[in-house]
Amino acid sequence: ITSMENKVKTLYHGSQHKITNGVIHARDAYLPTTNTPITAVFATPDFARARNYACMRLIADGWKSPRTSDTLYVQKLSQDISGKKAYIYELDSDGFERDIDGTYYSLTNKPIKRVIEIDVMQEITSGNIKVYVLKPGIDCPTEHDDIWAELVNNKDNFELYKPISKNIDMSLLSQMKDLGINK
């Protein structure tokens, strides 16, 4: 039993969906450690992990895995990340259970205390989220998550995504292309 001093007061729920009615509804999911079906609201005391989760589906096409609270491994980048917004919902921890792996979940809907809107591309360009993309030519079957897990365990299969800064002069870029400097 956790003493009151150790009890986390605030939890975060990351989502790519804007919630306008002030409540996060419990959804069908699985407990990560036991893969047990559950209908719950999931949250974490780690703001960075919630941010990563909120942005993940907007950044990635195909397989995706958060590796740490600030890194994301993806099979492919989504077509247009620019301008996309993700949301972090601040929740009171009352009524949440803690699973063995540290995941917090509640079997009931949870009122939102505060909403934090995130510009996904800004998080990447500022280095708050590092996105590693599967290198071209590396095969990744669509139906085998064990193969994806193997790929993710070898960092050499991925390269860090470095978005082009918006303030780079476009004429300079086209000159570089003409000179064969930037393919």
Please give the backbone phi and psi of residue 45, each rounded to the nearest 5 degrees, phi first: -80, -10
Place of tokens 């990560």: 32
Q: What is the pLDDT of residue 68?
A: 84
Q: What is the pLDDT of residue 8?
A: 83
Residue 41 near residue 100, CB atoms below 8 Å: no
Instruction: Give the global pTM.
Output: 0.79
Flag whether pLDDT at 71 surpasses 90: yes
Residue 104 near residue 86, CB atoms below 8 Å: no
**Residue 122 structure tokens:** 């800004």
Spatial separation of the C-alpha atoms in residues 91 and 26, rounded to whole Å: 13
pLDDT band at 36 (very low <50, low <70, confident <90, very high): confident
Spatial separation of the C-alpha atoms in residues 123 and 55, rounded to whole Å: 9
